[in-house]
A and B are shown apart, each in its own frame.
Chain A
Amino acid sequence: MIMGLIEPTSGSIRVFGHDMAHDRHRVLGRMNFESPYVDMPHRLTVRQNLRVFAQLYGVTDSAGKIARLAEDLALVEFLDRPSGSLSAGQKTRVALAKALINDPELLLLDEPTASLDPDTADWVRAYLETHRRDRNCTILLASHNMAEVERLCDRVIMLKQGSLVDDASPAELFARCRRSNLEDVFLDVARGRVNAKNRVVS
């Protein structure tokens, strides 16, 4: 919905001041996203895929940009392999390279470490932390992995059945729910142990 792929049934979404339902093309070049549920063409090599997306996003010096991303994301040895032949972890890194190809000001990540082994998942989280700090990029992360959210996020929005139930920093959520980690906060929200004002009810 934030990228304009789905229209909201009511209300509106504005990114960089533009309504995403009608004006999305003014801002899509300043955003990007990564999701394990969206693939890149399998028969194209990693380099070919990245070159196509670099051109779609109007990246100048695409060869240099691809080389830098490949270096950063440890993709150099896979650049000339078909994307479909990569493992889940390698595909995630390629998808991240695609998501970063235009140096987005707003990066949307949908379960970026889903189905990754713990080592690769940790590597991806560390990379995202560094990227956010170095590029001052806003990251909007959707995840059910509360340890990941706790590590990466300054602000947490909790949704339950499509409704917003909380919006605070991790520290504020711990204090309100009298918990020491987001996993427990999540369970409290999911199981109805906190009410609308985040008071503990049981």
Chain B
Amino acid sequence: MIDAAAISLGRIGAMVLRYTYLLRSSWPRILEMVYWPAVQMLTWGFLQTYLVRAQGVAPNSAAIAAGTLIGAVLLWDILLRGQQGFSFSFLEEMWSRNIANLLMSPLRPAEFVVALMVMSLIRLAVGVVPVTLMAIEFFGFNLWALGFAFAAFFVVLIVFAWSVGLLVSGILLRYGLGAENLAWSLMFIIQPLGCIFYPVAALPGWLQPICWVLPPTYVFEGLRGVLIDHVLHTDLMLTGLAIDSLLFMGAAFAFAWLLASARRAGTLLQTGE
């Protein structure tokens, strides 16, 4: 159990300070955070513009189609970069062989996790916010104009991103850097199954129940509902959030179990490959 009274904002702040120092010390890191989301958004945006023009779609339908795709790309980036912001901050400790220093300091695992969540938000702010502004400039799509719907989408996506980040961090603690590729690749399973670019109905019937277990599916279905039908399906958002909560608790349990297992196996001092 986590003793909330024992959680120290000072220690969480220390970890955020550590990651902020790291980001400030390396402009390529900051550039990389903006670069990929921008490339992704521009590629898909121009492709969508070309297809709409080539098929002679009515302007209003074209705008909706473009919004659906670019909106999906931006929300996908929130999901992917949210998880990577969490996982990469954790990986920094393993790359710099600093993890033992932290685990033998007064820093509690829960504080470490909260600091990684904060860093995930900071990295999102640096990497994805500029790209949402570029989407307005290049394609006239304003994600922020979705208002409350965007806030709901963001919450469901970021909690899921943290759950995946937490699970990956636990696996890294237990099995070392040999599992590093999970931090880069695990989230990509969501691209086909989370129905980012197409509705759930487009998938074979046997696959659809699996999609509905994943909170991002509710967000991307919700996005299409907002942009095409102009309706925010709150039932979808609430269901997505409920599944999110369960998955986050499961991930937290898995992280705690993997950390305890690493202590028993004595692998925390041998976190290399």
Contacts and interface: CB of A to CB of B under 8 A. Distances in A.
Interface of A: 3-7, 25, 28-29, 33, 35, 37-45, 48, 51-53, 55-58, 82, 98
6 contacts: A5-B104, A41-B92, A52-B14, A53-B14, A55-B14, A56-B102
A201 B9 CA distance: 60
Interface in B102-136: 102-108
The 4 A-B residue pairs with the shortest CB-CB distance, nearest first, are A55-B14, A39-B97, A3-B104, A29-B106
A39 B94 CA distance: 10
Contacts of B260: 7
A5 B263 contact: yes
B178 to A, nearest CB: 19
Contacts of B17: 51-52, 55
Interface string B1-44: 00000101011011101100110011000000000000000000
Nearest to A21: B263
Contacts of A35: 100
B14 A56 contact: yes
B101 A98 contact: yes
B103 A5 contact: yes
B269 interface: yes
Contacts of A58: 8, 10-11, 106
Given A6-B266, A39-B96, A39-B97, A44 B21 contact: yes
Interface of B: 6, 8, 10-11, 13-15, 17-18, 21-22, 25-26, 92, 96-98, 100-108, 260, 263-264, 266, 268-269
Nearest to B270: A37
Contacts of A43: 22, 25-26, 96
B272 to A, nearest CB: 11
Given A5-B104, A39-B98, 12 more contacts: A4-B103, A5-B269, A28-B104, A39-B101, A42-B96, A44-B18, A44-B22, A55-B13, A55-B14, A56-B11, A56-B14, A58-B10
A45 B25 CA distance: 9
Nearest to A84: B96
B107 A56 contact: yes
A57 B103 contact: no
A52 B106 contact: no
A95 to B, nearest CB: 9
Main secondary structure of the interface of B (DSSP, over half): helix
Given A5-B103, A5-B104, A44-B25, A52 B6 contact: no
Given A5-B269, A41-B96, A43-B25, A55 B11 contact: yes
Contacts of B8: 58
B21 A52 contact: yes
A157 B227 CA distance: 72
A19 to B, nearest CB: 13
Contacts of A52: 14-15, 17-18, 21
Contacts of B268: 5-6
Nearest to A9: B264
B42 to A, nearest CB: 30
A55 B97 CA distance: 19
A3 to B, nearest CB: 4
Contacts of B102: 56
A28 B22 contact: no
Given A48-B21, A51-B17, A6 B106 contact: no
A150 to B, nearest CB: 28
B144 to A, nearest CB: 34
Contacts of A7: 260, 263-264
A56 B105 contact: yes
A189 B92 CA distance: 42
Given A25-B6, A55-B14, A41 B103 contact: no
A48 B264 CA distance: 33
Contacts of A37: 269
B268 to A, nearest CB: 5
Contact of A33 (B13, B104, B108, B263): B104
Nearest to B25: A43
Given A6-B266, A41-B18, A42-B96, A28 B11 contact: no
A5 B15 CA distance: 19
Contacts of B105: 28, 53, 56-57
A56 B14 CA distance: 6
A7 B26 CA distance: 37
